[in-house]
Amino acid sequence: MVKIPNTFGLTVTAKRLIKWPSQQALFKPDESFIIVGAGSNLLFVDAEFDGQLIQLEQDEFIIEQTASDYLVTLGAGLNWHQTVKRLIDAGIDGLENLALIPGTVGAAPVQNIGAYGVEFSQLCESVTGYNLQTQQVETLNNQQCQFAYRESVFKKQLKDKFIITQVTLRLTKNWQANLSYGPLAELNNPTAIQIFEQVCLIRQSKLPDPAKLPNAGSFFKNPVVEASVFNQLIKQDPNIPNYPQADGKVKLAAGYLIDKAGLKGAVYQNAKVHQQQALVLVNQGGSCGVEIANLAAMVRQTVLALFKVKLNPEVRFIGKQGEVDSAQFLDLLIAENKK
Ligand X SMILES: Cc1cc2nc3c(=O)[nH]c(=O)nc-3n(C[C@H](O)[C@H](O)[C@H](O)COP(=O)(O)OP(=O)(O)OC[C@H]3O[C@@H](n4cnc5c(N)ncnc54)[C@H](O)[C@@H]3O)c2cc1C
Binding site for ligand X (CB under 6 A): 7, 34-42, 56, 76, 101-104, 106-108, 110-111, 113-115, 154, 163-164, 207, 210, 215-217, 316
Q: Closest distance between ligand X and the C-beta of residue 209, in Å?
A: 7
User: What's the one-letter identity of residue 303?
Assistant: V
Q: Treating both helix axes as pointing N-terminal to C-terminal, what angle do 289-307 and 326-338 enclose, rounded to 10 degrees? A: 80
Q: Closest distance between ligand X and the C-beta of residue 122, in Å?
A: 13
Which residues have C-beta within 8 Å of that of residue 3, sequence separation ≥ 6? 11, 12, 13
CA distance linking residue 72 with residue 61, whole number of Å: 7
Q: Is 167 exposed, middle or buried (0-12, 13-18, 19+ CB in 10 A)?
A: buried
Q: Closest distance between ligand X and the C-beta of residue 83, in Å?
A: 12
CB atoms within 10 A of CB 148: 13
Active site residues: 150, 218, 314
Q: Closest distance between ligand X and the C-beta of residue 311, in Å?
A: 16
Q: Closest distance between ligand X and the C-beta of residue 18, in Å?
A: 12
Q: Closest distance between ligand X and the C-beta of residue 113, in Å?
A: 3
Contact present, 120 and 146 (Cβ < 8 Å): no
Q: Closest distance between ligand X and the C-beta of residue 238, in Å?
A: 28
| Cα separations in angstroms, 175 against 108, 216, 276 | 21, 31, 34
| Cα separations in angstroms, 67 against 71, 171, 189 | 11, 12, 25
User: Which own/partner contact pairs does 173-180 have at CB distance under 8 Å and 24+ positions apart?
Assistant: 173/65, 173/68, 173/69, 173/70, 174/68, 175/93, 175/94, 178/97, 178/116, 178/117, 178/118, 179/117, 180/117
Contact present, 107 and 77 (Cβ < 8 Å): no
What torsion, rounded to 10 degrees, do the Cα atoms 99, 222, 8, 283 define?
120
Q: Is 191 exposed, middle or buried (0-12, 13-18, 19+ CB in 10 A)?
A: middle
β pairing state of 48-56 and 13-20: parallel
Contact present, 162 and 20 (Cβ < 8 Å): no
Q: Treating both helix axes as pointing N-terminal to C-terminal, what angle do 192-206 and 80-89 enclose, rounded to 10 degrees? A: 150
